Amino acid sequence: MFPLDDPLRPEWTPLHPYTPSDSTDAPTFPSPLGAASWGHDGFSHDPGFLASQEELRCMLFNIAQSAAPTRAPSPEIHALRDSTAPIRPVLSSPRRIEYLKNYVGQVAPWLDMFDSQCTFRVQIPALARSFPALLNAILAISARQMERKEGIQDSFDSLELYQEAIRLLSPLLQMRDPKVVAACVLLCCLEMMSARAQDWQRHLEGCAALFEAFEMNGFSNDLLQAVFWCYARMDLCGALISDGTQSTLLRPSKWLAPGCHEDDAAQLFQAAQSPDMHANYAVYLCAKACELVADRTQFMELGVQNECTGDVLSRRWIRLWDDLQHWLDTRPPELLPIHTTTTKPFPHILFLHWAAISSTQLYHTACILLLNMMPKSINLPATSATSALWHARRICGISLANPHQGCLNNAIQPLWIAGRLFSHMSEHAIIVDVIRHIEAETGWGACWRIRDLELAWGYPASRSDRATKSRFGIAR
């Protein structure tokens, strides 16, 4: 690893339009409420992690800037890998097996949430057997999840594995190899799980530049498609964290197949004839909602000349609203709820298909974002769908009824957006319990959003251990 002050450390120049988040040339936006108060373990402050994370970020920008070759790697590149990056086991075999088992059972369901083929659970571990950089990335993210879940403070197998994965990736990054891209996305996910919420942009922008430079998108083939949508969900998470100030780093237009106009996006997703791609379409539409909100914010508050006003704003709003309702109306049978119970204060909406859980929450999240900024010139008929509170109740009800491990952490930002709309303490207590449960079950940082909700509610919400135990069966 290169220390931050090492004169041999590689320099980089970001690929347009990605300006590094520490640049003074880019417009600055306020950090999300309470982001700085997120409680950390020591991992995110470790100098070794900070240096390695910056090294990976620099390498990704360098490769994106240099337009890497498209052909398969030559024998010389393989020789370079073998000579400069010898394999060195970081852990004992029993510990490696423990992390692999945890990856398959606990981590891969997050990554395969919208992928019925279970690419991250089945295909990627198989590829990793002959690709040490990918294997170390798998072990690193699994170790990090266990450390977070178990509350480990100052001893991190994940850090050694993370650094070893970067060391092995360094001579390989010029290869346009899906295994390299998969390893980079896994490491990006590890960083998002570990670091401050306000730093999300730094952890995503290297991968965003890489995807754009290599023209990878949501309709790439096979492994790359699964890897792209895993990244896209993190990018959307970051945009939601920004609270209306920023769009996704990789603009939604870049998510589509080359030559596809955004007006044709619905047909492109429908042509796939796949429940997974219909779920991915919800991710895309929610990203479009974030883009519209961010464009409006930048026009109103920063004077950015993006024409996001008047008729232009109304047309974009109506088109996106219609696309969202069309998404709901055209869901394949796999994405429909199998049972809905009308209960107070939140309905319980049960799904069988993994992708149905989170994609439906993202539909409701996008509707809330749009309804909160609806132009005054637009008059919608009074229905349930035009009530932001109705959408918010359904976001909470979906989380209450669907405990699937793969969909828990993706609910954190929708629950925060929904939770701000409620006024009764009993509603607040349930939402707090749900968020605490997500962090306890997944190890993914979630409770910092409780503090943000408390600021919105105007009082410190009390923790109800008894309600949490009875609702989720958690042993505390």
Q: Which amino acid is at 451?
A: R
**Domain residue spans of the chain:** 1-232
Q: What is the dihedral of CA 193, 199, 202, 204, to 10 degrees?
A: 40
Pairing, β 339-341 against β 348-350 = antiparallel
> Can you tell me which residue has the tokens 């220390």?
3
pLDDT tens digits, one per residue of 322-349: 999 999 999 999 999 999 999 999 999 9
Inter-CA distances, 287 with 27, 158, 165, 232, 251, Å = 20, 31, 30, 9, 8
Compute how many other C-beta atoms are within 10 angstroms of the C-beta atom of residue 389.
Answer: 14
The pair of structure tokens assigned to 85 is 């990056």
The pair of structure tokens assigned to 95 is 């510990």
The pair of structure tokens assigned to 417 is 């957006």
Which of the residue ranges 82-91, 120-129, 223-232, 417-426 would you say has the lowest mean pLDDT? 82-91
Contacts (Cβ under 8 Å, ≥6 apart) of 342: none
Residue 120 has pLDDT above 60, yes or no: yes
- Closest Cα partner for 195 from 20, 35, 359, 87? 35
- Give the separation between CA 58 and CA 216, rounded to whole angstroms: 20
* Residue 162 CA from chain centroid, whole number: 19
Contact 238, 250 (CB under 8 A): no
Residue 176 has pLDDT above 50, yes or no: yes
- Give the separation between CA 205 and CA 20, rounded to whole angstroms: 7
- Give the separation between CA 89 and CA 100, rounded to whole angstroms: 14
Report, as an integer, the average pLDDT of 146-170: 89
- Give the separation between CA 304 and CA 415, rounded to whole angstroms: 30
- Closest Cα partner for 416 from 449, 382, 373? 449
Residue 86 has what pLDDT?
53
pLDDT tens digits, one per residue of 427-461: 999 999 999 999 999 988 889 999 999 999 999 98
Give the confidence band of 40 by pLDDT, cuts at 50, 70, 90.
low
Residue 12 has what pLDDT?
32
Compute how many other C-beta atoms are within 10 angstroms of the C-beta atom of residue 328.
Answer: 14
**pTM for the whole structure:** 0.86
Residue 142 has pLDDT above 50, yes or no: yes
pLDDT tens digits, one per residue of 356-392: 999 999 999 999 999 999 999 999 999 999 999 999 9
Report, as an integer, the average pLDDT of 171-182: 87
**Which one is predicted more confidently, 110 or 35?**
110
Report, as an integer, the average pLDDT of 251-261: 93
pLDDT tens digits, one per residue of 291-328: 999 999 998 888 888 878 889 999 999 999 999 999 99
- DSSP β-bridge partners for residue 349: 340
Contacts (Cβ under 8 Å, ≥6 apart) of 353: 275, 334, 335
Phi (first) and psi of residue 53, to 5 degrees: -60, -40
- Give the separation between CA 118 and CA 105, rounded to whole angstroms: 12
Q: Which amino acid is at 224?
A: L
Residue 230 has pLDDT above 80, yes or no: yes
